[in-house]
Amino acid sequence: MNTARRYERIRAVGLWMILLNTALALVKFYFGWRFRSVALEADAFHTLSDALTTALVLIGAHIARKPADREHPFGHGRAEFLSGFALAVILGMVALEIMVRSVARVLQPTSPGVSGWVALVIAATGLVKHGMAWASKRYGEELEAPGLKSDAYHHFTDALTSYVVALGLLLQPRWPWVDGILGLAVAGFILFLAYRLIRDIGSSLLGTGPSAQLESLIREEVARIPGLRNPHSIRVHGYGNYYEITLHVEVEPSMPLSEAHALATRLERAIAKKIEGKVTVHVEPAFPSSSAD
């Protein structure tokens, strides 16, 4: 998929997420204002923050689609990693906010007297958020968009928050402190997700080896070309969905240089058809003493 088409799909998914989050936040704000519920108002702010973080994803994708230039010869694809990293930081901040409000609720328990049907409505918003999390994860993997995948975790944690708030609304008349206890549990889970996102995205920014799927694709393409064998020293540098790939292959020592060059060029083009990026193949003679590194 070319960069322009990929960006258009990411933007379409992001705009739908912003629209849905804004609508859900308005529903929660209304009930929070109507029943003077601090928990509902906090949940509404949490949902509204999802719309803002999705906007960060779109900004990252917009920067990533810019073509390579003199200062950035490999393009701007890693801007999406930066937006995903920002989302992870926001997740951690949201978790700390929930913890503070939960501790306050435990120390000063209150019961807003919300009807049971309101709790069901809030739980239903959690189901919607679950669907949004699934969609963000699916399209994030399909489009290789780290920001969308990070956004999926944000939707998921918001869904959990909505369930906790709904449960707390049902249990508060009898145990006013229960909402705060459940809030602390969810906040701990959100912090764990934020840590995992920061760890994974940080690793990608530092640079990782080729994925098993990409390495398998490279080896399959080598196997399709008679005369090439033993692909090794595979190096992959990812820049969003753009890759710089180098690898070594072996040929018979007696093979003419022009023929070896033609086979290497054929391999480069075959791999480049399957991914977006540049492939460089280094040819070596297959001496008995040679070894793959």
Domain's final residue, options 206, 222, 248: 206
pLDDT > 60? residue 291 = no
Supply the pLDDT for residue 124. 94
Would you say how long the chain is, in residues? 293
Tell me which residue range forms the domain holding 70: 3-206
- Distance from C-alpha of 114 to C-alpha of 176, rounded to nearest angstrom: 12
Do 11 and 97 belong together in one domain?
yes
Each residue's pLDDT tens digit, 17-38: 899 999 999 998 898 788 767 6
Supply the pLDDT for residue 49. 75
Domain's final residue, options 155, 181, 206: 206
Do 225 and 259 belong together in one domain?
yes
| Mean pLDDT (the chain, rounded) | 80
Each residue's pLDDT tens digit, 136-148: 889 888 887 777 7
pLDDT > 50? residue 202 = yes
Supply the pLDDT for residue 142. 84
Domain's final residue, options 206, 236, 255: 206
